[in-house]
Amino acid sequence: MNDKSKGRGSLFNTVNPYSTYHLEEEAAEWEPVQTKYHPVEAKTIVNQVSSPDLNFEYSLNPYQGCEHGCAYCFARPTHEYWGYSAGLDFESTILVKENAPSLLEALFTKKSYVPKTIMLSGNTDCYQPIERKLGLTRALLELALRYKNPVSIITKNALVLRDLDILSELAKHNLTYVTLSIPTLDEPLRRVMEPRTSTASNKIKTIQTLSAHGIPVHVMVAPIIPGLTSHECLSILKASSQAGARSAGYALLRLNDTVEPVFSRWIETHFPDKARKVRNLLKDCREGEVSEKRFFIRTRGSGPVAEAIAQSFALGRKKYFQDRKRPQLTTTLFDPSGGTQLRLFP
């Protein structure tokens, strides 16, 4: 790997199918890649989610693109809609929706708004590195607390602990839980596969800290990569359970659209001896393909290899998470006044 691409999951820029022109660049030609941030004015901020295999109805992404740089990230192709590449652009050109908090408050105060759990983020990580400076996610959580609207979080970053004060208050009212995404406990692997996420050990410590503060934690073993991380399923479940996680789920790797060339180049570069095996095992789970868009089957796969993974996970969940469940958040406390009525009429 060229030093200029160190700390990046993608080693090149994929072709954007929506663009007329594309400049081919090889790693040896790059200047060191610096992350750029561009403020944008979003027209709307909450997206309705109609997928029947997802456990939330609304998602909110304060950032488009993600500096974490996970080589396998399913959200990479969404950057193409903005005129960028799903490769390096996705992790080095971040669009910042600066008006996200004002849009969310406007939604909460609409007479027609029906409270539902909102997922932060569902697409790109709301605790990626720039959040430490900008605090958009914290501002969104403050609004969720003021209006008593349930909010769930999925992240790979220990930065979530910065907001323990707000999350603890939300948890007291059954208004939040946090999902930690942990695909591997192998630190050398994590370092090249999801280079700007928190370390594996820090993710486990994050579970401990959140749990100690009464904040429910769900763990996603995702993505499970056959032939590369699939053997870690039980160890991740054990470590997460011992740290206090209440529930766990998993998802199998899928390489839809322009995620495929990014991941293929990555594994051929970092694990050339395993690349063919991983690809063939994934095809065994995907009916001869590496992509899958059908609901439910996209997260589980099919065939003997997928079934073996499912059985391993089921065994681990029964052993380490028996009688533990992810909480069902409440919408009954929603206050469209944002608490102002309580202040005006004590």
Q: What is the per-residue pLDDT across 122-173, written as a single tens digit (0 to 9) for each?
A: 899 999 999 999 999 999 999 999 999 999 999 999 999 999 999 999 999 9
pLDDT one-digit tens code per residue, 71-118 = 999 999 999 989 999 999 999 999 999 999 999 999 999 999 999 999
Q: Is residue 76 within 8 Å of 134, Cβ to Cβ?
A: no
Is the model's pLDDT at 231 over the cut of 70?
yes
Is the model's pLDDT at 322 over the cut of 70?
yes
Determine phi and psi for 13, rounding to 5 degrees: -100, 125
Q: Is residue 203 within 8 Å of 158, Cβ to Cβ?
A: yes
> What sign has the CA pseudo-torsion 167, 168, 170, 175?
positive
Strands 93-97 and 36-40: parallel
Query: Residues 93-114, buried b or exposed e (16+ Cβ, 10 A)?
Result: bbbbbebbbebbbebbeeeeee
Domain boundaries, the chain: 3-322
pLDDT one-digit tens code per residue, 252-304 = 999 999 999 999 999 999 999 999 999 999 999 999 999 999 999 999 999 99
pLDDT one-digit tens code per residue, 175-225 = 999 999 999 999 999 999 999 999 999 999 999 999 999 999 999 999 999
How far CA 43 is from CA of 77, 113, 152, 307, in Å, comes to 21, 17, 22, 43
Query: Residues 53-65, buried b or exposed e (16+ Cβ, 10 A)?
Result: eeebbbbbbbbbb
In DSSP notation, 52-69 reads TTSS-SEEE-SEES-TT-
The alpha-carbon radius of gyration of the chain (Å, integer) is: 20
pLDDT one-digit tens code per residue, 234-248 = 999 999 999 999 999
Mean pLDDT of all residues in 61-67: 97
In this predicted structure, what is the pLDDT of residue 12?
62
Whether the model pTM is above 0.85: yes
In this predicted structure, what is the pLDDT of residue 4?
47
d(CA 279, CA 261) in angstroms, rounded, equals: 12
The total number of residues shown for the chain amounts to 346
d(CA 334, CA 346) in angstroms, rounded, equals: 18
Q: Does domain 3-322 have CATH number 3.30.360.10?
A: no
